[in-house]
A and B are shown apart, each in its own frame.
Chain A
Amino acid sequence: MTTVLEARDVHKAYGRHRVLQGAALAVQPGQLVGVVGENGAGKSTLLKILAGTLAADQGEVRLAGALGYCPQDPVITESLTVGQHLRYFAAAHRLPSLRRADALTELLGYTEFRDVTAGALSGGTRQKLNLTLALLHDPDVLLLDEPYQGFDWETYLRFWDVVSDLRSRGKAVVIITHLVFEQDRFDVLADLAGGRLARRQPAEGESHVRS
């Protein structure tokens, strides 16, 4: 099967602190992959390298298709409204309409905040906006860093609806988290420890995570 995202032998150090020491990952279309690690294990560093916002010291990352990246801390602008954020990112992705943005805000249940500035939003709603911005262009691979922090139960369930929809259309989703509540949801779970990824529960078929 085609691999949509592949990382090989990724190394990264901050000064003398070696965060990643040969991490490897292969993600296939439609897969939901969870990368789990303690605080400070290098999860966000790995995700930034996968997303291409941070350069690795060594190793290779290959991506096929459009990428969506949702950082852990919402990267939004306090003085712009939700609607303005959506228009801004629709322009970035050169989308002809806001139809998908409308559908996502409705699905995640925050349509009524469309005219509210981001600075006045609750933590959970900021996180919804953060997620929407990563999903706006319907990416082939979605990288999510602790995506459901601050979500209430209803939103948490809606979040999984969005993920199911993406997977059913062959889109791959990689979630980085320090806590996994429902392991069954994931196709692959990989633990990040000692700078390397190790598959937690081998499933049938080929191994997707090389340690």
Chain B
Amino acid sequence: MSAADLTRPAPPSPGPSRPASRQFSTAWRFALRNQTRNRLAGLLLAVFVPVWYLLMLAIAGHQPLAFRLYATGQVLTVDAGHLTLISAGLNSLTIIVGFAVFAAIRKTLAFDKRLVFAGYRQATLIAAKTLAITILAAAVACYTAVVLLAFWRPSPAGWLAILGSFAVIALSYGSLGLLLGVLVKNDLEGFFLIIMGGLMDTFLQNPLGNPLANKPILEWFPSFGPMQFAVGGSFGHQALWGHLALGLAWAAAFAAGGLIIFQLRTRSRRHPAS
């Protein structure tokens, strides 16, 4: 083939709807691929999740603990080990999903900017990233909830409540990863904020050796809603949908912040033709 082959005029482009849908399908598949091509996050998933469950269960023991359900004012007496398994699952998800999304967003920010410059619609890229994060969060949450069954068999409804809370915390921290990915100046800041934030957030909700637990201040943490939903479902046989929605509100707030900054950072300053 020679340079002459480059000179042939391109066939006319089909209508605007097809390229737009092709942009979306290409973007979400590649965004998902990027987020799942993180070996460290994969290793964390395969090794960290079961080891963390095992370790936390061994530390917690099985003494009874008082856990306050804010929706009803009820104080439940729960098994410390089982409660800590929920905390450990929530905590694993904050680290793994937060880290995977943060790393993927950081790596591709300049590339996304180039795509927008080349004509990719920002709204399409944003929607694609949101979908990819949602799929990743749901899949990792499912895995984490399934591994939990090796250590504890709650009732089916209880397990579904735990799965729901895991999915919501994964979404929240995936969104936080997105926000930090477009916001912080260097990688270390982001990793530190995700790891420390996730640890504090999830373990402060657990009354095991924590004097702050059951205090109203915990309502202002992202994992408050998911933890209440999981405990309400698995120990109290109640579906506290409002608390699950509270977790989703955190996810939406982080995602909105992240996507607005993403939009600003990838916008093109292209000059119009004269």
Q: What residues make up the interface of A, taking CB atoms closer than 8 Å to B?
A: 6, 51-55, 61-65, 67, 69, 71, 75-80, 84, 87-89, 91-97, 99-100, 103-104, 106-107, 133, 136-138, 161-162, 164-165, 168-169
Contacts of A107 in B (CB 8 A): 1-3, 5-6
B115 x A92 contact (CB < 8 A): yes
A75 CA / B118 CA spacing, docked (Å):
12
Q: Which of B110-136 contact A (CB under 8 A)?
A: 110-111, 113-115, 117-120
Question: Cβ of A71: which chain B residues have Cβ within 8 Å of it?
Answer: 114
If the complex has contacts A64-B273, A88-B30, A95-B13, are A53 and B117 also in contact, measured as CB distance less than 8 A? yes
Contacts of B5 in A (CB 8 A): 103, 106-107
Given A76-B111, A89-B118, A99-B10, A64–B34 Cβ distance below 8 Å? no
- The residues of B with any CB-CB pair to A shorter than 8 Å are 1-8, 10-14, 16, 19, 22-23, 26-27, 30, 33-34, 37, 107-108, 110-111, 113-115, 117-120, 268-274
Partner of B11, one of A69, A96, A165: A96
- The interface residues of chain B lying within 8 Å CB-to-CB of A69 are 117
Bound form: Cα–Cα A52–B113 in Å: 12
What's the nearest-Cβ distance from chain A to residue B34, in Å?
5
Determine whether the beta carbon of A95 is less than 8 Å from that of B4.
no
Q: What 4 A-B pairs have minimum CB-CB distances, sorted nearest first?
A: A165-B3, A94-B19, A62-B274, A52-B270
Q: Known contacts A53-B268, A92-B120; is A75 also within 8 Å of B114 by CB? A: yes
The reply to whether B119 and A80 contact each other, CB–CB distance below 8 Å, is: no
How far is B110's CA from A71's CA once the two chains are assembled, in angstroms? 11
Closest B residue to A79 by CB, please name it: B37
Q: How far is the CA of A91 from the CA of B30 in the complex (A)?
A: 12
From A52, A92, A138, give the contact of B23 (CB < 8 A).
Answer: A92
Which residues of B have CB within 8 Å of A79? 33-34, 37, 107
Contact of A103 with B1 at beta-carbon distance under 8 Å, contacts A75-B111, A89-B118, A92-B118 already known: yes
Which of B14, B22, B118, B268 is the one whose CB lies under 8 Å from A52?
B268
Contact A84 B14 (CB under 8 A): no
Given contacts A6-B274, A53-B113, A92-B119, contact A138 B6 (CB under 8 A): yes
For residue B40, give the distance in angstroms from its CB to the closest CB of chain A: 13
Known: A87-B26, A94-B119. A80 touches B269 (CB 8 A): no
CB atoms of B274 and A63 under 8 A apart: yes
Known: A88-B115, A92-B118. A75 touches B10 (CB 8 A): no
